[in-house]
Amino acid sequence: MIFNLRGCNGSGKTYVVHEILKQFEYSYVIDPTNEEVCGTLVKPLNMIFVGLYRPLELGTGGCDWYLAGNGGSKKTNDDLEDLLQRLATTGRNLFFEGFMISGTFSRWSEFAKRNPTTFLCLDTPLETCIEHIRGRRVRAGNDKPFDGKNVPPHHVQCNRNYKHLAKAGHDVRMIPYLDAPRLVLDAIRPVT
């Protein structure tokens, strides 16, 4: 099974994965094509979480970490899709999330047609997303001004994409943000 956790920046995607990883021992997955870290393996769930998950105060994880080249060289969405295709052949379940992919529809809808994917969509309110971003910036020591003007359009786009994915016939599940770590774990646990 493949799961894609989606949400606006600040919605809690990476936080959810951190909370799940706290409950299990895990190891890192090395991409044999370039010998770079590409994922986090949780054997009890038979699940590869794409990307590396560092402490929250160090920034993003998941697909954003992978695409930014933190495992080595900078990557493209094509690289990410190729990686997902390769990891899908390992016999493990896959989980991927990221700000940079949550706002896109067509690429991941087409991917899900070829690779059945369950889309887990966070319902985090806009104001909460902005609060989370501000808090993350403070924890990282970033004191540059933040007006949050780019967050509302992305929040609208993410919510629109949830509806488009459902209309395209994909398995879309809304996840209430206040209990997201438990609900996401419940959603992915049955496939172990």
Q: What is the mean pLDDT of residues 132-157?
A: 91
**pLDDT value at 185 more than 70:** yes
What phi, psi does 10 have (nearest 5°)?
85, 5
> 49-93 pLDDT, tens per residue?
998 887 655 567 889 888 887 766 788 999 999 999 999 999 999
pLDDT of 104-143, one tens digit each?
A: 999 999 999 999 999 999 999 999 999 999 998 888 888 8
Domain locations in the chain? 2-191
Long-range CB pairs of 30-38 (<8 Å, 24+ gap) are 31/71, 31/83, 31/86, 33/86, 34/72, 34/73, 36/71, 36/72, 36/73, 37/71, 37/72, 38/66, 38/71, 38/83, 38/87
Sign of CA dihedral 47, 37, 59, 3: negative
This prediction's pTM: 0.93
Q: Which CATH number fits domain 2-191: 3.40.190.10, 3.40.50.1820, 3.40.50.300, 3.10.450.50?
A: 3.40.50.300
> Which ranges of the chain does DSSP label H, i.e. alpha helix?
13-21, 62-67, 77-88, 99-102, 106-114, 126-139, 151-167, 180-188
pLDDT surpassing 60 at residue 103: yes
